[in-house]
Every structure is written in C-alpha cells, then in structure tokens.
Amino acid sequence: MIELDGLSKRYAGVDALHDVSLRIPAGERHAIIGPNGAGKSTLLAIVAGSVRPTSGRVRLLGQEVTGWSPDRMARLGVARTAQRSTLFPEETLLDACLLAAAGRSSGARAWQRLDGDARLVAAAQAALESTGLADRAGDRAADLSHGEARQLEIAMALAQRPRVLLADEPLAGLADSERGTIAQLLHDLDRQMTVLLVEHDLAFALGIADMMTVLDLGRVVVSGHPDHVRASDEVQRLYVGQATDGLADRPHDGADSPLALSVEGLSAGYGAARVVHEVSLAVGEGRVLALLGRNGMGKTTLLRAIMGTIEATGGTVRLAGQDLSAASTTERARAGLSLVPQGRGILSGLDVEEQLTVGQGPGDWTLESVYALFPFLRERRRQEATTLSGGEQGMLAIARGLLRNPGVLLMDEPSEGLAPRVLEQLGEVIIDLAERGQTIVLAEQNVGLTLGVADEVVVLEQGRIVHRGSARALRADAALKRQLMGL
C-alpha cells in the first residue's frame, strides 16, 4: 500500500509537484504518465526517499516513511530503476545483481562474504536469466550497450525481490525488440508486488497498468482506470499528435548542394571489437542526413569516429573539403563539427546560461537567437541545468551545440526519453534548423521522427550500411521500412 498525501516539491522557485495525493493498494500496478517536466520522476524520487518533499507525507507498507533515506526504504522492500542507468561499471553483472540481492538484509549480511550464500547467488543468476543477460554474467557492466544496461538495471531491481517496485521509464532508449522483452518481463511480475511505473509510452502503460494517473505541470490531471483515462479529454489534449510521421514534407531542392561532410571507408571500434565497418556517406550543405538503426548497430560509434572522440581504424573524414582524418577532437570542433551526445552531456554545477556559453563560437547563432528558438531557456537561464527535466535538458544540449556555430551538427538520439509532445517539438526544431541552412547528421532509432525531418536516410545494421535513399521514398514504402527496422 502506497499513500501519498498532499505532496509538493519546489525547485528553485519552480513547482515540480503540487499537492499530489494518491492511494495505491497492495498488488496494484499503477502507471504515472504525462509530458516531460510533469513531475513524474520527482514523484518517484520522493517515494524512493532520494528527494525530500517540500510538504506532504508518504506512507508505505503501513509505515510513515516521509524523509526516510533511500537505503532505509530499500531495506523496507522498495526497489527503484533509475531513468538514466546508474550502475557499477567495474563490477561483473553477476556481482552487481549479488549486491542488489544482498542489500535488503545488508545489516545481517555485513560480515559474510558477498558470494557466500548459495541462495543469493541463485537469486542473482535468476534475475539475469529472466532479463536475458545470463550469458553475460561474467562481463563488466561498463562493457554493456545502452539497452543492455537498462536490462541490467531491471535485473538488479528484480534481484532485490522488492515488495514495491518503482520503475522510472524502463523502456526509455530501448530498441523495439528489447522493448518487447522488458514489457513482457514487467507484465509477468509477481502479482503480489506493487508497481509504480512512470512511462512515456502510452500504449505500453495502458497495456500493463491496473490504474493510471496523469500528471501535467506537477498536478494530477486525471486518475483512474485506463479506459477512463484513455477517454478523458485532458489526456487527448496532452497526447495530441503523437504520430510524428509526416511532420513536414520538405521540398527536395538543393540535392546537389556542395558537400558539407563526406566520410569514406570509415571503420572504428573499441579495443579488438570493430563496431563500424567501412562506412561511406556524404551530406550536402543545409541537408539533413539521418543514420537510422536499432540499438547497438553502430550509430553512436560512427558519430564518435566522425567527431574524433574515438580513433578510427581506417577511412577518411572531410569537412567542406578539408581532410580531418588525422585531426584531434578539438581541431575538428574548431573546423566546424559539433556533437550533441546521447544522454545530453549536461555539466553539473553550471546554470543554463553558463552551460550555453561554455563552448560558444563566433557565427550566426547567438545567445539571443537561441533564446528566441527555445524561450523556456531564457526563463530558466539562472537555474542549475541539471534540475531541468529530461526533455528540457535535451533541448538545452541542442541549443549548446548550435551556439558552437558548427558547419555540421551531429545529433545522437535526441529523441531518447522524450514524451510525444516534446518529440513533436523536437521534430519542428530540426526542420526549423534545416530551413535556416544548418547541416545536420542525425542518429536515430525513432522511425517516425527520422522520416519526418530527414532528407536522406542511411540505415545501419551491424555497423554496415544496408540501405540508403531519400526519406520520401522510404516513407512511402511501409514494407521496406518494417524490414529495415527488423520488425
């Protein structure tokens, strides 16, 4: 049983949560949905004990737990999967799950060997088994791909054998095939377990939840049975236009514009593992080239090799004719490449404006023009950047990339973790940038967004290009689309 009574939380003058009251009976699966910045993560963090409410009370499993520390909550039987994977990079997957399994009785087990209890080892292995990670039990967490790290996060939560599971966007950043696995996993959870789930994916949330609460701007909009929520006008309003297909059909002029970036035979990887194999691509000035592919297909590695943050093992990178193959990352940045990294790379300790100006370069994009594009950044300019919501941080990262005034802007999965409404805004921003003549290379797995904004599309599979063509052609060919995305 979870009882929230009049919870409010203020950050730097902003109401993240305002007078939220909820009752979740034991064994219920309750989904919290709502757009970015609605206060969903804050709500979950308060229940988990990592954030103290400004006012209001939390009762959980029959105890008054307001202000309890996270470790005490965990020992009571609360497990939490975080939105951004926070794991132990040096530990093996098995050890990470062992640590999770032992945590609940940490006091009694303090002076026993961590791997000394066979039942605990079995529980850890079972958790890895059920998340499909069993064959990687001996690998280090640092070597996992983004999707696998999310799976480990869930494996660790299961290993805790919790009575209450707090899941913060368990599907964020997962490819479609992985989403199926995780969704099934959550669906098959012990019915005794109370689940509080924060999710963007409305279809998934509707399918799994017994009850739902919709938050917007820190307030409860509607709460009730999924059918009731689905039918509610408020929800229709919030989730309007979630199909991002056909955001705009850009005229295909300038297809023969001069080349801004050309890459030939580029190969790269990590250590002995080669992830990208002899990829060649070119993008004309003012064009949007999309690298489409599922997780782990080499999109991030390709962008990193272009940016020079990892060393290419072969091939050339040319920017406006200038050969940058041997150039350092700094030299490439100076020559006009800018990368908006996955996970946004927001620096802690800086406010929004400091964050924006930290790498500012001369050119058309100024603080003023960026503020005009993202008005909320001006309002929040003195707020510490890490207190922005995930979607806002994404926009901030794009704004920061623009202020470097790059010839070519590289974007690595900007859609990750964005609510449909924000996703649509993102699409509009990219189209807006393209219309102003900004050259963009966009790595994405969101097909709808990609086809809505790109001029050309390159599909990556296992680090190789398996298809290239115009976005328009791909948009029209549903069968090819499904086939390319492995559906």
Could you say whether residue 86 binds other proteins (CB under 8 A)?
yes
Interface map 156-195 toward other proteins (x if CB under 8 A)? x---x-----------------------------------
Interface map 300-339 toward other proteins (x if CB under 8 A)? ----------------------------------------
Coil, helix or strand at residue 246? coil
Q: Which long-range contacts (CB under 8 A, 24 or more apart) does 138-143 make?
A: 138/92, 138/93, 138/94, 139/92, 139/93, 140/89, 140/90, 140/91, 140/92, 140/93, 141/87, 141/88, 141/89, 141/90, 141/91, 141/92, 141/93, 141/96, 142/89, 142/90
Q: How far is the CB of 239 from other proteins (least distance, A)?
A: 31
CA atoms within 13 A on the CB side of 460: 28
Phi, psi of 46, rounded to the nearest 5 degrees: -70, -45
- Quote the DSSP letter at residue 140: B
Residue listed under structure tokens 């006012």: 55
Q: How far is the CB of 77 from other proteins (least distance, A)?
A: 9
Q: How far is the CB of 108 from other proteins (least distance, A)?
A: 9
Helix axes 93-103, 118-130, angle to 10 degrees: 120
Could you say whether residue 70 binds other proteins (CB under 8 A)?
yes
Site stretch for other proteins (CB under 8 A), options 92-100, 208-216, 396-404, 454-462? 92-100
Interface map 95-114 toward other proteins (x if CB under 8 A)? xx-xxx-xxxxxx-xxxxxx
CA distance 457 to 473: 10
- Judged by CB under 8 A, the residue of 6, 62, 67, 89 near other proteins is 89
CA distance 141 to 1: 33
140 vs 274, beta carbon nearer other proteins: 140
**Binders of other proteins in range 122-161 (CB under 8 A):** 156, 160
Could you say whether residue 69 binds other proteins (CB under 8 A)?
yes
Could you say whether residue 80 binds other proteins (CB under 8 A)?
yes
109 vs 219, beta carbon nearer other proteins: 109
- Judged by CB under 8 A, the residue of 25, 62, 64, 71 near other proteins is 71
Site stretch for other proteins (CB under 8 A), options 52-60, 67-75, 365-373, 387-395? 67-75
**Rg for the chain, CA atoms, rounded:** 23
Site stretch for other proteins (CB under 8 A), options 24-32, 63-71, 346-354, 372-380? 63-71
- Residue-level length of the chain: 487
107 vs 271, beta carbon nearer other proteins: 107
On whether the CB atoms of residues 247 and 241 are closer than 8 A, the answer is: no
By CB atoms closer than 10 A (0-12, 13-18, 19+), residue 7 is: buried
CA distance 45 to 273: 38
Q: How far is the CB of 27 from other proteins (least distance, A)?
A: 22
How many CB atoms sit inside 10 A of residue 354's CB? 14
- Judged by CB under 8 A, the residue of 75, 219, 378, 467 near other proteins is 75
Could you say whether residue 469 binds other proteins (CB under 8 A)?
no
Could you say whether residue 50 binds other proteins (CB under 8 A)?
yes
51 vs 175, beta carbon nearer other proteins: 51
Q: How far is the CB of 124 from other proteins (least distance, A)?
A: 12
Q: How far is the CB of 204 from other proteins (least distance, A)?
A: 24
CA distance 280 to 458: 10
Coil, helix or strand at residue 121? helix
88 vs 376, beta carbon nearer other proteins: 88
Could you say whether residue 92 binds other proteins (CB under 8 A)?
no
137 vs 480, beta carbon nearer other proteins: 137
By CB atoms closer than 10 A (0-12, 13-18, 19+), residue 402 is: buried
Could you say whether residue 121 binds other proteins (CB under 8 A)?
no
Q: How far is the CB of 149 from other proteins (least distance, A)?
A: 12
Site stretch for other proteins (CB under 8 A), options 89-97, 177-185, 363-371, 397-405? 89-97
Helix axes 146-159, 93-103, angle to 10 degrees: 30
From start to end of 123-251, where are the E strands?
164-168, 194-198, 211-216, 219-224
Q: How far is the CB of 82 from other proteins (least distance, A)?
A: 8
| Residue ranges in contact with other proteins by CB under 8 A | 48, 50, 69-71, 73-75, 80, 82, 86-91, 95-96, 98-100, 102-107, 109-115, 156, 160
